Chains A and B, each alone.
Chain A
Amino acid sequence: MAPNLIEVLEVHHRDSWGWALACCQWQQSLADDVLQESYLRVLDGRARFGGKSTEKTWFFGIIKRVALELGRSQARQGWHIFTTVAAVPEPAEQDPGLAAAEHDESSGQLRSALNAIPQRQREVLHLVFYAELTLEQAAHTLGMSLGSARTHYHRGKSRLAELLELSHE
C-alpha cells in the first residue's frame, strides 16, 4: 500500500469509525471488527484503490461491504446482529468514550431517529451530514444513482426532522 494512502486513511480515521458505527447500527465491537477488517483488506492488497473516486469514498465503500459481509456471516451463525427495531441496541461492552457519548442526549436522540428511518435514507444522510461527502460521492459509495441518492436524502431529511420534532422551513 502506498504510504500516502496510509496518511489519507489516517486523516479520515475518525470519519471511518463513525461510518463503521453507522453501518453496524452503533454496535461498537462489531464496528471495531469491521474497521479492522477494512484496513486489513487495504494492507494485504485485497482492496486496491483504482483512482475512480476519492480515497475517502473508496474506503467508505470497503467499510460498507465488510459490514454487510460480517453482518451476513454473523446472521448465519444466528446472532441476528442487524435488527430493525427503532430503539438503539444496548452495546454488550462499552468503553468510557462511547459511554460518555451515550450520555449525550442529542446524539442518542439522533441515533434513535436514524434507526427509525429506512437504511438507505440513513446511510445517505450520514454520509452527507456526518462524513461531509457530496451527494454524488455518497451515491458512489453506496453504489446507487445520483437521482436515487437525492431522493433518499430529501425523504430521509424530512422524516428525520419529523422524528426529531424540528420545525420545517
Chain B
Amino acid sequence: MNNIDSDPTITGTDREIASRFARMRASEAASAPAFTVQTIPAAERARADHPRTVARIVPRLAAAIAVVAVAVSLLYETPQEDPAALYASIMENQQVQTDSLLIVSDSVLPALRAVPRLFDTESAFAANTETD
C-alpha cells in the first residue's frame, strides 16, 4: 500500500508516476543481491578493512603529531619577561648611559673651562655651607 493511495488530493498523474515506480521496483527487486548478514570473523574484517583503515589513520596520525608539536612548542617557549623587571633594567641601563654622558673630561671638552661659574657654583655653595 503506497502512501499516496491514502491521499485524497492525489491526481491521475500521481497515480501514473506511482505505477511506474512500482514497475521499476518490481524489476529491480529481481536483481537484488541475496540478504546474507552473518558474523564476519574479526581478523577477516580487519584484513578486508586494512587499506581503508590505513587511509583513515594516516590523517589522524598527522593531526595528532601536529597537536603534540604545538603543545611541545608551547611548553618550551621562552617565558615572557616581567614588564616591571624589563622596565627597571632599561631604566638602569639608560641611567648608566646618561651618567657616562655627563662625565666630561677637560680633554674631551676644553671649552668647558670657559664657563667657570658652572663649576664655581658648587664650590661656592660648599664654601658657604662650611662657613655657616
Interface string of A78-103 (1 = CB under 8 A from B): 00000000000000000101101100
Binary interface encoding of chain B residues 45-89 relative to chain A, with 1 for a CB under 8 A from any of its CBs, else 0: 100000000000000000000000000000000000000000000
Cβ of B17 and Cβ of A166 under 8 Å apart? yes
Report the separation of the CA atoms of residues A114 and B132 in the bound assembly, to the nearest whole angstrom. 117
- Count class of interface residues, chain B: 20 to 34
Q: Is the CB of B24 within 8 A of A166?
A: no
* Chain B binding surface, main DSSP class: helix
Some 17 contacts from A to B, beta carbons below 8 A apart, are: A13-B32, A14-B25, A15-B25, A18-B25, A40-B40, A43-B37, A44-B45, A97-B32, A106-B23, A106-B24, A107-B24, A110-B20, A132-B2, A157-B17, A164-B16, A166-B13, A167-B13
- B14 adjacent to A14 (CB under 8 Å): no
C-alpha spacing A89/B45, complex, angstroms: 32
Instruction: Give A161 to B32 CA distance when docked, in angstroms.
Output: 27
Q: How far is the CB of A9 from chain B (nearest CB, A)?
A: 7
In the bound assembly, the distance between CA atoms of A13 and B28 in angstroms comes to 12
Compute how far the CA of A160 lies from the CA of B20 in the bound complex, rounded to whole angstroms: 11
Cα–Cα, bound, A9→B35 (Å): 9
Contact A169 B17 (CB under 8 A): no
Indicate if the CB atoms of A14 and B23 lie closer than 8 Å.
Answer: no
Cross-interface CB contact of A35 among B3, B4, B18, B33, cutoff 8 Å: B33
Nearest chain A CB to B25's CB is how many angstroms away?
Answer: 5
Asked, given contacts A166-B16, A169-B11, whether A110 binds B21 with beta carbons under 8 Å apart, the answer is yes
Given contacts A98-B30, A100-B27, A132-B2, 13 further A-B contacts (CB under 8 A): A9-B35, A10-B35, A18-B24, A32-B33, A39-B37, A44-B40, A97-B30, A109-B20, A129-B2, A161-B13, A161-B17, A164-B17, A168-B13
**Chain A interface SS verdict (over half):** helix
Contact B30 A100 (CB under 8 A): yes
**Which of B4, B16, B23, B35 is the most central at the interface, judged by chain A CB atoms within 10 Å of its CB?**
B35
Q: Which residues of B contact A15 (CB under 8 A)?
A: 25
The reply to whether A43 and B39 form a contact with Cβ atoms under 8 Å apart is yes
Contact A104-B29, Cβ < 8 Å, known A128-B4, A157-B14, A169-B12: no
Contact indicator A107/B17 (Cβ below 8 Å): no
